[in-house]
Each structure stands twice: as structure tokens, then as C-alpha cells.
Structure 1
Amino acid sequence: MRNYSLNDFDAVIAIGKAGSFRAAALDLGMSTSALSNAIARLERQLGVRLFNRTTRSVSLTDAGRRFVGQVTPALKDIHEALDTVRSEQQVPSGTLRINTFATAGREVMAPLILTLLRRYPEIRIDLVTEGRLVDIVADGFDFGIRSAGLVPADMIAIPLGPPRRHAVVASPGYLDGRDRPATPADLPDHACVRTRLPNGAMFRWHFAKDGEDFHIDVDGPITLDEASLARIAVLDAMGIGYFMESDVRGDIAAGRLVRLLEDWTPALAPLCLYYPNRRNPPAAARALIDLARRNAKA
């Protein structure tokens, strides 16, 4: 009897879903060449081609589609059985894959991710940050972290902290000799550091007060697509910036940045750690869930 690897079967499903070896390799945390070699080895063992490959696309053959259709339910049962065994581990171990967006990743890094790793050195974390909202089950993640309003209804969600806020800030150097904006309507008279969303659209600044809720487009000398770059520009007196409060709280406290229009930035929904309902989560997953729940009560 030939020796087959569950990882190779998982790889076939990942490639079929992603439609490319490169995308599947990223999802699986391996190199494209290693993934290609694994599939070639499996095809030799099976004696059948599972994929049609061209320089531009990859698609399942008829045999590949039948293989995926039959093996997927079996793999799900096997992985659930493995989870049941792992749930009985005395020491949590293994890799947890978490999907979130960059700002949330920065917010939860110290209180959740790094704390977990220090308590359980045998756990490994694979944290993926991206702007788009993904199906964490279909994309092979154990957990997601998003704003409460973006958590799918069929997921279990744990709030990770208090409501969050945006912060409008500028450096003392930029404000020197200028009138500070008293309302958002004053922003067109100022240079602003603009940011672009992952889908290419310009980010519009959100304000609310006394029942009035609106978004505005701002203008300025520079457009960026990452909050850490925008912070550098604002610190260097390039203009007014709009950030998550957590990204600039230290700068405000140290006097490097001055907060503006604070009464126009309302509270936002808290972040949530979310995951599918599983009867016997692995010990590592249970450790993360328990830590998140303790943090929520603190």
C-alpha cells in the first residue's frame, strides 16, 4: 500500500479553491515550488493528472474534480478527529491561523497574541492581515478578528476590548501659525494626509455629532495606503491625519501630536475574536479563546 500524506490532499483542495499554485502556497504557508513538487509526487502515486496547467491558469481535471468531491468530506472527518485528540493535550501546541486587518492586528498584538505565545511556548501563530473580509473556514483560518458589525452571524464572537474611536491629529509644527479646525467643515482649509483603501477607493473621514453623521473627502499633498506611513507624514508636519486612536495614543500623550475635533469622533464597535462552533477545539485554540474571554472581563 502506498503512503499518502494528508497534507498533499489538503494541498489539492487548496489549489482547486484558489485556482493557482501561488495563491494556494501562500494560504498553506509553503513555497510554490514545494507545493508543485508535492502535487507532482501525488499525481505519480495516483497515476492520474489532477490539474490542467498552463502558463496563465490552473484548473482541476475531471479526475481531479471527482477526487476533490470525494476526499473533502473524508478529510473534514479526519481533521475533526485530530482536533478531538488534540483537545486532550496537557500542553497547548500547534499552529493557529488568524485573519484580521492591519489596524486590528496592531491593537491585539500585545494583549492577546504575544501574551498567548509567552504563556504557551509550544503554540505558533500565523497572523494574516488584509483589508478584504474573508470566509475564515473556506480560507483555512482558525480565527478571525474584525469589528463586531462585520462578524458573520453563524460565528461565535468574543469582544476584545472597549469601543474604539478615530483620532484627528496634527503635529505642533503644522499647527504653528495656523487656526485649528473647529468643525470638520474647516478641513478644506488645511492640508490633510489622504489614505487609500485596499480596493483602491479613497478613504473618507467619518464624523458624527448631535445626530449629524457624515463622511467627507479631504485633500492634501500626499496619498498613502498604510497607517504607519501616514503617521510618519503627519509627525513631519505634512498635514492633518485621521487614525485609529490606538495608533497615535502614545504620540498624543507625549505631545508629538495634538488631537483635533475630538467631540466629532464617535465611539466605534469593539473588535471581536470569532470562530466557528467546534465541539472539541484543539488545546491551542481553547487557550486563545480562554485568554480572549479573560481579557474581555478585565
Structure 2
Amino acid sequence: MRTVSPSDLSSFLALARHRSFRRAADEIGCTPSALSHALKALEERLDLRLFNRTTRSVALTEAGELLLARVAPAFRDIEDALDDLNNFRGAPVGRLKLNAARASAKMVLLPLVARFLEAYPKVSIEIVTDNDLVDMVSEGFDAGVRFGEVIAQDMIAVPIGPRQRTAIVATPSFFERFPKPTAPDHLRELPCVGLRFGSGRLYAWEFERGGVELQVEVSGPLIVDDQDMMVDAALAGAGVTFTFEDQVLSLIDEEKLVRVLEDWCPYYGGLYLYYPSRRQMPAALRAFVDFIRTAGSASPRVNAKLLQRPTAPRSDHDAAASG
């Protein structure tokens, strides 16, 4: 067998993580065509097919799965060893890749990241928003942000940001045409803006008051897949919208939106930054975790304790990573 170089394996790992020539090529800094040629040459040297390719998908073969299982941990060890050199520098250096649901990234993560980057100018951060379930490790993320009870049990989690509360809103002109609901079940008689997850499931709106929990399957002429779009739809008069309180407080204060059923909207336990338990934590991630702990006066805890927290809105449930 002809020699296989570390750069060949880096190309293989990038494609194995992303299952997309375009995204893998962007990661390693080449064109999709160059990556395709490099992988074809690697397969010829190994005399094995590592990927099954179609015009629409890229999937590992059994041989590719075996190579990934053996090579990925070794490359992580190399990355850890190189990252240990940060201990000889005055400040952390490196790049972090974070995953979060869009609403969580906008409300909680982005403000913290901005402050962190001001304090640590030699660190760069990429935030990828995704409302669907992702495998954080295989997708190459250093950490993610989700509600606590959906984080995989082998992850370490740190509280990030305040408790979250939901809000039910529509425009003043909408409530001139339709009666304001005084109980969650009344929503079944009103046009509501629906939220569909990437899995195809429609979100059933969740309520709680005095220990009574309700789920209401709403209907209406408009369904979207993004919470910011739900707010925009409410502002456009498309119907009643279920969203996070922090997203609409200023709009309520400006009387652009009217809030209803406030006494049925409970507080939730809040969001968490979570990351894999590894022998060596990258210096940039360690600095970010310490920054969050200082900002929130909180310490890391294992996820088993988080599972006791109240159920969170499903918009972030489906965005949780499976470890």
C-alpha cells in the first residue's frame, strides 16, 4: 500500500464530518473539486472505497466507518497536544465552533460571545445555528447551547444566561377583529402561527398555571420553521404567535404587539453551554467556560442533575445535540 499522509486523512475526516464536499472543502480551504480528487486518490492508494457518493448524498462505507473510528480519536489527541502549547502563551489562542438554536444564539449566546472576544482578541468563534438535532462531536463542534434536560448524559453543562419565559402575542389590530383568549383552549378558535420542526412535527404550545400543565395544538393559515419569523408573522397580522418573552418585550412596550395569557406562561430553567468530557479541554474553550462561570456565578455540573429541570419549549428541544 502506498503512503498515506496526514493531509490525506485530514481531508477524509472533514468529509466524514460534514458529508458534503462543499462544506468539507470550506473547512480545509480548498475547492470541492480538489477535495474530490484528493479523496479519490486516497481510495486508490488504499484500494478501498471509503465513501458512497451520489448526486445528492455522501455516506461512509463500512471501511470508511472503521477508518473514522480509529483515526478521529488520534487526531483529537494531536489537536489536544498542540493546544497544550497555549499554556506557554500569555492568553488563549484558537478557534471555537459553537452550535445553538437560532433563538438561543440571538438572545443569550451572541451577547456573551461579543464580550468574550473583546477580552480574548486572539480567539475566534464561529456560531452555527440549527433548530434540529445534531451530533455535536461528529459535526466538529466544540460546544453547544440548549435547554438542560435535553443534553446528552455524557456532556458537561454550564448555566448560561437567565431563566426564559414564553409569551403569547398578536397585534392590536388583530385583537380588534378577534376576541382575546382568556384560557389556552381558546387558541383553538383563533388563527395561530404554527412552528414546524425539521423532523416534520408541529409544535404543540405549552402552558402551566398553578401546577396545571396544558399542551394546545393550534392551527392557522401560516406555518414557519423559525421563531424570529413567527414574530415577524405576528407583526404582519398573520395571527397569534408563541415565542420567547425576551424576543418581544420591546415590541410590547411600543404597543406593536399585545400580550395575552401571561399568567399561563411559566418560567423555564434556562439555557446551558455544554461540551464533551475530554482528557484535555482546548484552551480557548476553557477560557470561554471560565468566562461564562464568572459572568453567571455558576459552576459546571453533570447533565444527570439537569434532567430534573422543568420541560423547556420544544423549539430548543429538537435543537439539542445527541452526544
TM over 0.5, shorter chain: yes
Closer, same or farther: CA 294–223 of 1 in aligned 2, 3 Å: same
C-alpha offsets along residues 232-283 of structure 1, whole Å, 9 cap, x if unaligned?
A: 2211222211101122122122221111101101111210001123344233
Amino acid corresponding to residue 5 of structure 2 in structure 1: Y
What pairs with 1:32-181 in structure 2 (closer than 5 Å)? 32-40=32-40, 42=42, 46=45, 48-51=47-50, 53-55=52-54, 58=58, 67-68=67-68, 70-176=70-176, 178-181=178-181
Q: Would you say the 8 A contact 1:88–1:283 is kept in 2?
A: no
C-alpha distance in structure 1 between counterparts of 2:152 and 2:52, whole Å: 35
Q: Would you say the 8 A contact 2:207–2:264 is kept in 1?
A: yes
Q: Would you say the 8 A contact 1:156–1:277 is kept in 2?
A: yes
C-alpha offsets along residues 145-178 of structure 1, whole Å, 9 cap, x if unaligned?
A: 1101112222211101222111001111212254
What pairs with 1:271-290 in structure 2 (closer than 5 Å)? 271-290=271-290
Q: Would you say the 8 A contact 1:169–1:259 is kept in 2?
A: yes
C-alpha distance in structure 1 between counterparts of 2:125 and 2:240, whole Å: 36
C-alpha distance in structure 2 between counterparts of 1:128 and 1:220, whole Å: 30
C-alpha distance in structure 1 between counterparts of 2:230 and 2:69, whole Å: 47
C-alpha distance in structure 2 between counterparts of 1:275 and 1:25, whole Å: 25
Residues 1:10 and 2:10 aligned together: yes
TM-score normalised according to structure 1 size? 0.85
Amino acid corresponding to residue 173 of structure 2 in structure 1: G
1:232 alignment partner in structure 2: 232
Q: Would you say the 8 A contact 1:151–1:274 is kept in 2?
A: yes
Q: Would you say the 8 A contact 1:165–1:266 is kept in 2?
A: yes
Closer, same or farther: CA 238–120 of 1 in aligned 2, 3 Å: same
C-alpha offsets along residues 114-163 of structure 1, whole Å, 9 cap, x if unaligned?
A: 22222223322121222233332232211011101112222211101222
Amino acid corresponding to residue 209 of structure 1 in structure 2: R
1:270 alignment partner in structure 2: 270
TM-score normalised according to structure 2 size? 0.79
Closer, same or farther: CA 136–53 of 1 in aligned 2, 3 Å: closer
Q: Offset at 1:292?
A: 1.1
2:312 alignment partner in structure 1: none
Q: Would you say the 8 A contact 1:11–1:39 is kept in 2?
A: yes
C-alpha distance in structure 2 between counterparts of 1:94 and 1:126, whole Å: 11
C-alpha distance in structure 2 between counterparts of 1:254 and 1:219, whole Å: 27
Gaps of 5+ in 1: none
Instruction: Determine what percentage of the aligned residue pairs are the same residue.
Output: 36
Q: Would you say the 8 A contact 1:195–1:203 is kept in 2?
A: yes
| SS of corresponding position for 1:246 | helix
- Alpha-carbon RMSD across the aligned residues, in angstroms, is 3.0
1:186 alignment partner in structure 2: 186
Q: Would you say the 8 A contact 1:158–1:296 is kept in 2?
A: no
Q: Offset at 1:222?
A: 1.5
Q: Offset at 1:64?
A: 5.1
